[in-house]
Amino acid sequence: MEELNRRKALRVGGAFGALGALSVTAPAQAQSLWTWSARGSVAGAGNGADPRWVWDPEADPLVASLLDRGDVPAVNKLLRTWTRNDQPLPEGLPNDLRDFMENARRLPSWADEGKLAKAVDFNEKRGLYLGVLYGLASGMMSTVIPKEARAVYYSQGGADMKDRISKTAKLGYDIGARNAYRPDGEMIVTCVKTRLVHAAVRHLLPRSPYWSGAADEDIPISQRDMMVTWHSLPTTVMQKLTAWKVPIASAESEGFLHSWQVGAHLLGIMDEYIPASWNEANAQAKQVLDPVLAPTPEGIRLAEILLNLGAEIDAGILSKPVLGAFTRFMLGDRIAGWLEIPREPLWDPLLRTAWGPFVAVREGLLPFPLAPEAYWTFDEFLRRAALLFLSEARPISIEIPEGNRPF
Ligand code: HEM
């Protein structure tokens, strides 16, 4: 009952709603023991420390000091011009930041060009599925990762979810681009900027009276949290593709994993926590992702905002039921129930019966396509989803926040 009131309070929105939310204790967090061995990591060794208590010791004090010194507006302005992987850093950055970024932008010694090239092959062939999976499996899953949902809800970006999604979609786009990590690509820049954003959030969020009342932690975005989110991305995507029987050559599967391993490193995740193989990734996800999934009032609200994004285009008539049905299809009844997504009598059965054959046909497993209408329906949905999740022709600039979400 109390939980319900908290939810209602959040729905009302605004300062009063958020204050109401504070009156109820957050549900206990399921935190499993950390037993995953660093022997299964890309580093091959580590000290075994639970990443729950490790953040980003290089970036955090630096960005805290930028915020305290009042340097962030000038830094953001300069960094708006820094977009390509091979571009020199802009003149005028504070020296400590410049030194950090010069180091942070370097690919790890274990980055393998051959594997990254295979990732490109994979992304080209499977871009269709990847778009849907990143948006609706990973994106919606983030709303049932309590710590992430709360961090996003109470941080500056929580006030404008469309803008926030366009920035996250940029990362998904950049990692899937042909030139992702090449000199003319943008993935390195996106990761380094995101690393700075996360460091800022660690400094800022604990000062938000709303977050500190709702969250059961002192500093957000630990190394463990980052791995949890990482698993909601490539690990979940690969699990779904496997479940859909998409035949993926092992070199391409390896390549896709590798592109995300490199991304994790550039986001500031330590090598000793980055899984070296899919087996290791699945084992780690079982330990850190599966047990934490749970509904929160903040996540339910975020999911509602996400499902309503299409309303601008079609008043929600088609997009909301389709997005809801896709979420149920991807994440299952339990999570759809948590997110209060209604059942869709038309779309739920259609997805259940048509998606498998659709994938099979696309993959050349079945000789004949289904009715053209079914193709059209899915393709039309994908175009809409792309419209929703990529931004509207505006340049997307990932910037260091200076404050939290105002209520
Ligand atoms: C910002 C990606 C992990 C919370 C961002 C941004 C990206 C991103 C691209 C920039 C968007 C923006 O500026 O709004 C990722 C990836 C992760 C990860 C790829 C893991 C592999 C996490 C985790 C949390 C988190 C674990 C919380 C527990 C946030 C917050 C912001 C942010 C609060 C700032 C929103 C704002 O106020 O603007 N993340 N993130 N992220 N991320 Fe993450």
**Ligand 1 pocket: which of 142, 162, 168 to mutate (most atoms <8 Å of CB)?**
168
Q: Which tokens hold the place of 302?
A: 């975020």
Q: How many domains does the chain have?
A: 2
Task: Verify that 115 and 257 share a domain, yes or no.
Answer: yes
206 and 334 assigned to the same domain: no
d(CA 191, CA 183) in angstroms, rounded, equals 14
Domain presence at residue 10: no
Give residue-wise pLDDT tens across range 300-313.
999 998 888 767 66
Distance (Å, whole) CA 234 – CA 259: 10
| ipTM for this prediction | 0.98
- The verdict on 186 and 113 lying in the same domain is yes
Residue 15 within a domain: no
What residues form DSSP beta bridges with 41? 275
Residue 23 alpha carbon to ligand 1 centre in Å: 27
Does 113 fall in a domain? yes
CA distance 321 to 238: 25
Instruction: Say if residue 226 is exposed, middle or buried (CB neighbours under 10 Å; 0-12, 13-18, 19+).
Output: buried
CA gap 211, 180 in Å, rounded: 35
Smallest CA separation from ligand 1 atom 21, residue: 230
In a domain, 20, yes or no: no
For position 372, what pLDDT does the model report?
Answer: 38
Residue 79: closest CA among 68, 69, 66: 66
Quick check: CB of 201 below 6 Å from ligand 1? yes
How far apart are the C-alpha atoms of 181 and 187, rounded to whole Å?
6
Find the Cα–Cα–Cα–Cα dihedral 329, 331, 334, 336, rounded to 10°. -70
Is 18 a domain residue? no
Q: Is 406 exposed, middle or buried (0-12, 13-18, 19+ CB in 10 A)?
A: exposed
Domain shared by 213 and 67, yes or no: yes
Domain check: are 107 and 212 in the same one?
A: yes
Q: Looking at the structure, tell me whether residues 384 and 247 fall in a common domain.
A: no
Distance from Cα 267 to the centre of ligand 1, integer Å: 10
Residue 368: which domain range?
297-389
Cα radius of gyration (the chain): 21
Q: Identify whether residues 382 and 246 lie together within a single domain.
A: no
Token duo for residue 34: 């950390």
Do residues 223 and 74 share a domain?
yes
Average pLDDT, the chain: 85
Nearest atom, ligand 1, residue 163 CA: 14
Assigned domain for 206 exists: yes
Together in a domain, 316 and 269: no
Ranges of residues in the chain whose predicted pLDDT is under 50: 1-28, 366-377, 379-380, 383-384, 387
What is the reported pTM?
A: 0.89
The pLDDT score that the predictor gives to residue 316 is: 65
Closest-lying ligand 1 atom to the alpha carbon of residue 193: 10
Q: What is the pLDDT of residue 11?
A: 36
For residues 96 and 64, give the distance between their C-alpha atoms in angstroms, rounded to a whole number. 12
pLDDT digits (tens, 9 = 90+) for 317-365: 667 888 899 999 999 999 999 999 999 999 999 999 988 887 877 776 5
200 and 345 assigned to the same domain: no
Ligand 1 and 358: CB distance under 6 A: no
Give the separation between CA 284 and CA 327, rounded to whole angstroms.
24
Answer whether residue 49 is part of any domain: no
| Residues 235 and 367 reside in one and the same domain | no
Looking at the fold, whether 84 and 110 belong to one and the same domain comes out as yes
Estimate the share of the chain in helix, then strand, then coil, as percent rounded to the nearest 5.
65, 0, 35
Last residue of a domain, one of 292, 313, 330: 292
Predicted pLDDT at 378: 52
